[in-house]
Amino acid sequence: MRKRKPKARVIAPDPRYGDPMVTQFVNNMMLSGKKNTAFSVFYDAMDIIAEKTGNNPHETWEKALKNVMPQVQVRSRRVGGATFQIPSEVRPAQRVSIGMKWMILFARKRSGKGMASKLAAEIMAAAKNEGAAVKRKEDTHKMAESNRAFAHFR
């Protein structure tokens, strides 16, 4: 165990929208330390969203992220000889992080040409409460709901 909590690192805002959350998203998306490539992929996806929907792409992305973030999760815990799935609330920072990671994961798994178009498609689907990332959130919530009887083991 740590003696004290580490200081939270300050994330610089991104150049286009001035939002630190966008930088965090790009940091999660980045592969092999290629941040400029990740930024260009993200901004290309935003341009695609603006072109297809005609709405503000940043607001669409925020709405999509809000739709993907889980409120509860299940954790495995051994009690006696049995392993129980125990539902627990997700901390706000963790909630954002999980939502971003799911969106990126399912964008990568999508079929299509180029990461920018796949990411744009996933964001637009999540903004409409559709898509694989939203389904993962709903499945997690269903799992937590069905195991609510074990919440007292927390």
154 residues of the chain, pLDDT tens digit each: 778 988 888 999 988 899 999 999 999 999 999 999 999 999 999 999 999 988 899 999 999 999 999 999 888 888 788 888 888 898 999 999 999 999 999 999 988 889 999 999 999 999 999 989 999 999 999 988 888 787 777 6
Whether the Cβ atoms of residue 61 and residue 29 lie closer than 8 Å to each other: no
Backbone angles phi, psi at 79, to 5 degrees: -125, 115
Q: Give 120's Cβ-side CA count (13 Å radius).
A: 23
Residue 103: count other Cβ atoms within 10 Å of its Cβ.
29
Q: Which domains does the chain have, with CATH numbers?
A: 20-153 (1.10.455.10)
Does this model's pTM top 0.95?
A: no
**Contact partners, residue 45, CB within 8 Å, separation at least 6:** 115, 116, 117, 119, 120, 123
Residue 34: count other Cβ atoms within 10 Å of its Cβ.
12
13-29 burial, b at 16+ Cβ within 10 Å, e below that, comes to ebeebeeebbbbbbeeb
